[in-house]
Amino acid sequence: MEPDDFRDMQDDTRSRFNGLGIEVSSKNGVLTVVTPMEDTPAAKAGILAGDQILKINGTPTEKLELQQAVNLLRGKPDQKATLTILRPSSKEVKDYVLERAEVKVQSVKNAHLIDKELTGPFKVGYVRVVQFNEPTAEDLAKALDELQKQGMQALILDLRNNPGGLLNSAVDVCAQFLPPNTVVVSTQGRAASQEREYTTSSTAKERPHFPLAVLVNEGSASGAEIVSGALKDLKRALLVGETTFGKGSVQNVLQLPDGSALRFTTAKYYTPGKQVIHGNGVTPTIAVPMTAEQEHALFVSRNNDTKIGDEKTQVRSRDPQMLRAIDALKGVMIYAQENSPKSEAKK
């Protein structure tokens, strides 16, 4: 990894970068879009998770190393790049001309109580985590504190199109929903030294055990899979949506004296239930598929400033995954009410 690449990688974890706004990985030997980041050139152009990049500025990607492809995607603001994209769902091949930009990522977005016309008598919170960087856990904690002040009874955590980020940040996010000292992910490699368990902090603040649903899709990767896999295996949350990307290898970065760096894979991530994330992904509790057209419409609406008053229309018309999550949480709360001690006493 060249010095510039190393600096770019560090920028990614600090919530800013220059480029097109695409997280990519090699999937079955093909350069694949993990997710386009929101409010970036790629998102605005309509590129979707799962799209396959055949060429970058006319250069075929099939023989490129992943880092070589990333180098071609990155560049200075205002520079243009042409991507030849294959969309597997439609078999359509299309050229996208994108202009690179400086992007700042707000990792925790749109925290609010969902429109009561969707949730009925219950107060269901919603918060979206776009990626896991340095301030994510702290920002999420503040958002949850505010929602609890508003009387939140249940929560939808949206990890769709979240490409991951910092491992420690993902673990700290889990700590918002799990008891202290809980193992949320482990690593196993060829050497015993590569075996390690990552736990929530012993001093983590414990919150009320409110019902929780996590939205995931093919664009949920790495840190998003660690969080969703832990919450599912530990029976803390329902997962709603589609099987995640399956990017769960441990990569170490060794900085060299000349400013460059060496990045290498040493182990794989395992969920608390000992499921291998890499190559498999995390399967949802409730599967709700979406077409490419539905995903694009949802992505466009999320990139625009949508008024909360329009939420019920958007969810009902464009977001079957969120609608199903709301229904599932309402069912959990109705069941809890009917089986509470007070309810039993009335029978």
Structure tokens, 85: 């994209």
Q: Which of 233, 249, 319, 330 is catalytic?
A: 233
Q: Is 174 exposed, middle or buried (0-12, 13-18, 19+ CB in 10 A)?
A: buried
User: What is the rounded (10 degree) CA torsion for 338, 344, 346, 347?
Assistant: 90
Residues 6+ apart with CB under 8 A from 233: 271, 272, 273, 275
Secondary structure in 3-state letters for 4-16: HHHHHHHHHCCCE
Structure tokens, 114: 């969902």
Q: Which of 172, 247, 249, 319 is catalytic?
A: 247
Q: Please state, in angstroms and rounded to a whole number, the distance separating the CA atoms of residues 93 and 56.
A: 13
**Is residue 27 flagged as an active site residue?**
no
Encode burial over 26-60: b for 16+ CB neighbours within 10 A, e otherwise. Answer: ebeeebbbbbbbbbbbbbbbbbbbbbbbbbbeeee
Q: Please state, in angstroms and rounded to a whole number, the distance separating the CA atoms of residues 85 and 150.
A: 44
Chain centre to alpha carbon of residue 30: 21
**Is residue 222 flagged as an active site residue?**
yes
**Is residue 232 flagged as an active site residue?**
no
CB-CB contact of 267 with 194 (8 Å): yes
Q: Which of 169, 222, 228, 249 is catalytic?
A: 222
Beta carbons within 10 angstroms of residue 291's beta carbon: 11
Q: Please state, in angstroms and rounded to a whole number, the distance separating the CA atoms of residues 332 and 62.
A: 47
- Helices 167-174 and 136-149 sit at what angle, rounded to 10 degrees? 20
CA contacts within 13 A on the Cβ side of 20: 27
Dihedrals phi, psi of 268, to nearest 5 degrees: -125, 155
Q: Which residues are catalytic?
A: 222, 233, 247
